[in-house]
Structure 1
Amino acid sequence: MTVIFFDDQSRESLLPLTYTRPVADLRIGIMKISEKWLRHFKTDKHYYQTQTYLQEKFATGSGSLNIFINGSVCPNTQLFEAVVALKDGEALMHEDICIAVKTSQPQLNIRALENFKQVHFDEQFIKITYPEDIFKFNADALREDFDALTRGRTSAKLSNTNTILGTDIFVEEGVSAECCTFNTHNGPIYLGKNSQVWEGTNIRGGLALCENSQIKMGAKIYGATTIGPNSRIGGEVNNAVIWGNSSKGHEGYLGNSVVGEWCNFGADSNNSNLKNNYAEVKLWDYSKQRFRRTGLQFCGLIMADHAKCGINTMFNTGTVVGVAANVFGAGFPRNYIADFAWGGAQGFEVYTLNKMFDTVVKVFERRGRLFDEMERNILTNIFNLTEEYRRF
């Protein structure tokens, strides 16, 4: 049986985060959604049914019998058992949400579900529909992943220079931490392979610090926060999900936020996560072409891949920053900053592809990565797709 992750309509409402990846490649908790499912299936072999321009990076394919999984749905034990129990030609549904389909067909037409026998699943599960859902549901996803990754295993030991409150902590091999405080009373703490927590850091779980990432001296981290692989974080962070290969290495506040890959924050940059009048926060929604009510009082920054900000950048409550935007200068920039925008509160111009590529090459080199033709093609496609938003 071949596992294939498909994008449903959430792909549009999750923009700009899904311009650069299929929905199943989103990270929430400790793992990406695809990794959660594959752990249940006990396989690494999988494919994606996603946007054409992404298929070179996220391979397409099929087998003689395929299980199509909705990439916006996070698994749990009950849900996985219901998926496995499907017969050929059946679709697992929750109200109007298609969770999974088992079929010998090589492609799934999500608009033709009447061709499948529908099986209903009425239990609870996490579904990611909007960007804010990622930090909103991160505590539950982090707990689920922590239990899955640590079950039946023994944690490595931390140095006795650290203070640990509670027992809900798991340390992978190669972790380095000295003279820090780890409080697990409000959520688990997971320290990934070869991660580092520098002296004087105070952590209040839940926290996932993924492999090869670092928390710098004196940082203050509150749950439920995820720091993806190969990242470096400092300052004050609260309920934020940072996907990986990104840096917020200095003082400044980041809260109730989602940050993509290859992002960088200048020193003393801050975001607001609460309006002065305590009103409900709105976010720019690409699918609706307007600001959408979130139902949240606390909602900070949504920053897509390759975005950057200069020192002392101030982000208003509920700001969306598009792919490869470069923000700098005094004052508060607007609440929606278009993809490939260059500037700040004083105005924007287009961040041209060649200029942007020059930066990405240097960023990739620092991480020992090659910025190849495939990555160039993806960003070129996104640049063309988002042209309508750059009417500066």
Structure 2
Amino acid sequence: MHLCLFEDIHSNNFLPLTYFRPVYDLRCGMLSLKERIVSHLQPKSLSLFVREYLAPVVREENPGVEVNKVSSGNCLFVSGRTIMDARLARQLKNAKGDCLFLSGGHLVAVRLSGENLKKAMSSTYSDAIDLSDVKNVLNVDVEARLVSYPWDLVYANESELANDFLLLTKKSEGIEKTSVVHKAAVLLDKKHVRIGKKTVVGPGAVLDATGGPIFIGDGVKIFPTAVIEGPCYVGAGSMIKVGARVYGNTSIGRECKVGGEVEHSILHSHSNKQHDGFLGHSYIAPWVNLGAGTTTSNLKNTYGSVRVQINGKVVDSGRAFVGLTAGDHVKIGINGTIDTGTVIGPSSNLYGTSIPPKSIPAFSWGTAGNLKTYDVERATAVAATVMNRRNVVTTEAYRQLFRYIFELTINERVNYRD
């Protein structure tokens, strides 16, 4: 089976998280949406459809994978917003002939071959695939979960942490022999704790899996007296600092540094919240740094539904708890105070103790009452410095992506007095 993952117009609902990546590269649980889809479907080959400006970087990150084209004569297209599970995967794999898979009227997947595939691929990529001219396609109703906004990923995190733990620990158990767990560390419900290779768990640290599984990746350092409550995932190379309180339903991607209090949040990868402060019900993109004392609100004083500005529109989340959505390379200075449901665009640099607006355009610099445009060349240079510290090279394609996003968001900063 040849698998093609595609984005649709709803991918813009995930901005600013999807400026630098396709929607299916967002994390939920222990895996990205793409990793989970591929793990369940086990395709022989893969194609990725993305917005055209992302294609150069996506090609670099996925060598040998077709981007925005399909060479196979038979293909299963799956929406990149799908939270794949075993039951849905069986339905998609077992279906015969050309099929359109719908859940509540929403497109989940489509299997096409021959002339139908040629017709679907004949137009320039815009939304996803062109189904206007395909014929003799069977409609199949399926039960599927499609995420629509960033908080959907945060709220799905609890179930996916548990599901991914079962999916990824079938052939492993317990603590890898090369890891060191101090005798004064406490592991509760130890059978639901996995600790990877060359990981260190310090004295007085508590890993409490009574509320859900805990998966600790390779090369993690859990400092003394840190507390981790399951379900939780800590990715390879991350650090959980002294006295940290990491509550359940939290995913911490690779090479993050985490301290203070974190609850029900996703840190994608390579981001720091290593000092005191609170982060709750939030999604943090890569390369973000939250300064010492930064605190995010995740609940209104009225206990009402949180309204969030997404892609220029105010959306009622229908949720009482929604925290910060921070795009790539966001920096918040010491003692930053962030309001409920705040969205900060990529490469923004905020400082001061006043509460900033709830929607911050990309490439913003300054205090709550005095935001200016952050020079794109300076921003790109700082990003390169930060990434090089983690041995990640900034390619020319990545630097061009920075500049493109700056131009793409220029109208959002039209009222700045630079």
Question: Into which bin does the TM-score normalised by the smaller protein fall?
Answer: over 0.9
1:321-360 CA deviation, whole Å, 9 max, x = no partner? 0111111112100000111111121221001111101211
Match of 2:226 among 201, 210, 214: 201
Residue of structure 1 equivalent to 2:140: 120
State which drifts further: 94-103 or 328-337. 94-103
Q: Distance in 2 between matches of 1:76 and 1:114?
A: 30
Residue of structure 1 equivalent to 2:163: 144
SS in 2 for 1:261: coil
Aligned-pair CA distance for 1:111 = 5.1
State which drifts further: 255-264 or 272-281. 272-281
Is 1:174 paired with 2:193? no
Aligned-pair CA distance for 1:46 = 2.4
For residues 255 and 85 of structure 1, do their structure 2 counterparts lie closer, same or farther at Cα, with a shift above 3 Å needed? same
Describe how 1:1-392 pairs up with structure 2 within 5 A.
Answer: 1-42=1-42, 45-59=45-59, 60=67, 61-64=69-72, 65-104=74-113, 105=117, 107=121, 109-110=128-129, 112=131, 115=134, 117-123=137-143, 125-156=144-175, 158-166=181-189, 167-179=191-203, 180-286=205-311, 289-390=312-413, 391-392=415-416
Q: Distance in 1 between matches of 2:234 and 2:53?
A: 31
Which residue identity does 1:23 align to in structure 2? Answer: V
Q: Distance in 1 between matches of 2:328 and 2:167?
A: 28
SS in 2 for 1:57: helix
Which residue identity does 1:253 align to in structure 2? Answer: F
Residues 37 and 83, structure 2, Cα contact 8 Å, conserved in 1: yes
The CA RMSD measured in Å over matched residues stands at: 1.7
Residues 2 and 43, structure 2, Cα contact 8 Å, conserved in 1: no
1:293-332 CA deviation, whole Å, 9 max, x = no partner? 1111111100011111111110011100011111111210
Residues 86 and 92, structure 1, Cα contact 8 Å, conserved in 2: no
Q: Distance in 2 between matches of 1:54 and 1:92?
A: 27
Residues 283 and 294, structure 1, Cα contact 8 Å, conserved in 2: yes
Which residue identity does 2:71 align to in structure 1? Answer: G
Moved over 6 A (4+): none
Aligned-pair CA distance for 1:277 = 2.0
Which residue identity does 1:97 align to in structure 2? Answer: H
Count the aligned residue pairs: 389
Q: Distance in 2 between matches of 1:268 and 1:45?
A: 46
Unaligned runs of 5+ in 2: 60-66
State which drifts further: 155-164 or 49-58. 155-164
Residues 2 and 44, structure 2, Cα contact 8 Å, conserved in 1: no
Q: Distance in 2 between matches of 1:100 and 1:88?
A: 13
SS in 2 for 1:115: coil
State TM-score, norm by structure 2.
0.89
Residues 30 and 142, structure 1, Cα contact 8 Å, conserved in 2: yes
Residues 200 and 221, structure 2, Cα contact 8 Å, conserved in 1: yes
Q: Distance in 2 between matches of 1:208 and 1:14?
A: 22
State which drifts further: 330-339 or 43-52. 43-52
Q: Distance in 2 between matches of 1:320 and 1:362?
A: 25
SS in 2 for 1:365: helix
State which drifts further: 94-103 or 247-256. 94-103
SS in 2 for 1:369: coil
Q: Distance in 2 between matches of 1:228 and 1:80?
A: 25
State which drifts further: 172-181 or 72-81. 172-181
Aligned-pair CA distance for 1:3 = 1.7
Aligned-pair CA distance for 1:220 = 0.2
Q: Distance in 2 between matches of 1:306 and 1:128?
A: 24
For residues 91 and 356 of structure 1, do their structure 2 counterparts lie closer, same or farther at Cα, with a shift above 3 Å needed? same
Which residue identity does 1:84 align to in structure 2? Answer: K
SS in 2 for 1:55: helix
Q: Distance in 1 between matches of 2:57 and 2:260?
A: 34
Q: Distance in 1 between matches of 2:141 and 2:29?
A: 23
Aligned-pair CA distance for 1:119 = 3.3
1:156-203 CA deviation, whole Å, 9 max, x = no partner? 254432111213111122221122111112111000111121111011
Q: Distance in 2 between matches of 1:44 and 1:205?
A: 35
Q: Distance in 2 between matches of 1:330 and 1:44?
A: 53
Residues 294 and 333, structure 2, Cα contact 8 Å, conserved in 1: yes
Which residue identity does 2:275 align to in structure 1? Answer: H
Which residue identity does 2:291 align to in structure 1? Answer: G
